[in-house]
Amino acid sequence: MHETLGVAVIGTGRMGADHVRRIHEMISGARVAAVVDIDAERAKRIADGIEGCTAYTDPATAMAAPTVDAVLIASPGPAHEAALLTAFDRDLPVLCEKPLTPDAASALRVLEAEQRLGHRRVQVGFMRRYDAEYLRLKSLLDDGGLGRPLMLHNRHRNASTPPGFTNAMLINDSVVHEMDVTRWLLDQEITAVTVLRPTPSGNAPEGLDDPQFVIFETDGGALVDVEINVNCRFGYQVQAEVVCERGTARIGEAHSLLTNAEGRWGGTIAPDFVERFEEAYDREVQSWVNATRRGEVEGPSAWDGYAAAAVCEAGVRAQSEGRRVAVEMIERPALYR
Ligand code: ISE
């Protein structure tokens, strides 16, 4: 491993390009050694702006480069499995954007491959675990002062969806964050999912039932609800309230500046997740780089990626079949305990 970690960023779409900028401008101890995109022109354009960075169209070729010590996967979900398995072949540390893979069967194959390797190599990009407000909530709950969590209410609102956003994506791309947050905050597994739908909003694009109301049951007996509302128009908003035996705690309401002027008080709402979670992404990537340079692996594991995929599968079935669906998951393997 080089003194400065040489990172190959695979996929230079919205998240990938943002991570390239982040590593280049913000992160210490790492540099962008390679960028990979099937669009050769795009990869070259990005690489040309960074000294010592090479453009590739094939992830395996980039991972074989002597300048590459670690991999950040930000390509579309269906391409993750192949990239992860190639990284394992080279025993390279990986930060893999969510989803780990698009379904539980492929996530399980990744989990098995990492176990064959004998040590953890993957951190999954569930960035909310690095958000300052979520971290505060997590330590409050771990502290135990409020007693046992009984319920968790979540609101997840996006201003609008990109063209082609489907009901299944509502679960797999959006609610997947609340699945991970629930498992992490409560330290419990999700055992069943129910999806209810009000009459769709007039803002909902053709073919998308928006908003929807998702309910999780957990193995610790907690109930969790998620308002997923992805064409709310007014901005990007993520809120959570935990109701415990001796009190409640709420985040996501006033993380921005509050002003008083012209007879009104108020703040601003971020337009999208890249802005709302900017600091969380910075913290996530910096933690990954720091742990990697120490020879360690921290943060959300491939097990967390698999568990989210299993809950997503139950969620998509609950949504399409209009009934409560139990989550099917393997036992947690020793490597992830
Ligand atoms: C997107 O893929 C994300 O990960 C965002 O955090 C989420 O808010 C959005 O709904 C998803 O489409």
CATH number at residue 19: 3.40.50.720
The minimum-distance atom of ligand 1 relative to the CA of 98 is: 4
Atom of ligand 1 nearest to the CA of 156: 8
Which helix (H) or strand (E) segment is 149 a member of? strand 149-157
Residues 143 and 45 both lie in one domain: no
What's the rounded Cα separation, in Å, for the pair 155 and 269?
Answer: 14
Total number of domains constituting the chain: 2
Mean pLDDT, the chain, whole residue set: 97
Q: From the CB of 188, is ligand 1 less than 6 Å away?
A: no
Alpha carbon of 173 to ligand 1 centroid (Å): 6
Residues 82, 143, single domain; the answer is no
Could you tell me if 142 and 165 lie in one domain? yes
Q: For a pLDDT cut of 70, what percent of the chain falls above it?
A: 99
Nearest CA to ligand 1 atom 6: 273
Percent helix, strand, coil in the chain (nearest 5)? 40, 25, 35
Residue 331 in any domain: the answer is no
- Residue 57 in domain: yes
- Same domain for 140 and 82, yes or no, is no
74 exposed, middle or buried (CB, 10 Å; 0-12, 13-18, 19+)? buried
Which residue segment(s) compose the domain that 96 sits in? 5-128+279-301
Q: Are residues 169 and 105 in the same domain?
A: no
Q: Which of 234, 261, 276 is the last residue of a domain?
A: 276
Coil vs helix vs strand at 329: coil
Same domain, residue pair 271 and 136: yes
- Could you give the CA distance from residue 153 to residue 129 in angstroms, rounded to a whole number? 17
The protein residue with its alpha carbon nearest to ligand 1, atom 11, reads 174
Same domain for 43 and 177, yes or no, is no
| 258 in a structural domain | yes
Distances in whole angstroms, Cα of residue 110 to Cα of each of 16, 79, 83, 105, 119: 21, 12, 10, 9, 13
Q: Are residue 142 and residue 261 in the same domain, yes or no? A: yes
CATH number of the domain at 260, please. Answer: 3.30.360.10
Cα-to-centroid distance, 294 and ligand 1 (Å) = 31
Do the domain assignments include residue 315?
Answer: no
The pLDDT of residue 258: 87
Instruction: For residues 297 and 245, state if they share a domain.
Output: no
Pocket test for ligand 1, best of 160, 172, 174 (most atoms within 8 A of CB): 174
Atom of ligand 1 nearest to the CA of 277: 6
Segments in the chain below pLDDT 50? none
- Confidence (pLDDT) at 255: 63
Helices (H), the chain: 14-25, 40-48, 59-64, 80-89, 104-117, 132-143, 167-169, 176-186, 273-276, 278-293, 302-321
Q: Are residues 80 and 165 in the same domain?
A: no
Ligand 1: residue of 177, 229, 312 to mutate (most ligand atoms within 8 A of CB) is 177
323: in domain: no
pLDDT tens-place string over residues 245-264? 999 999 998 667 889 999 99
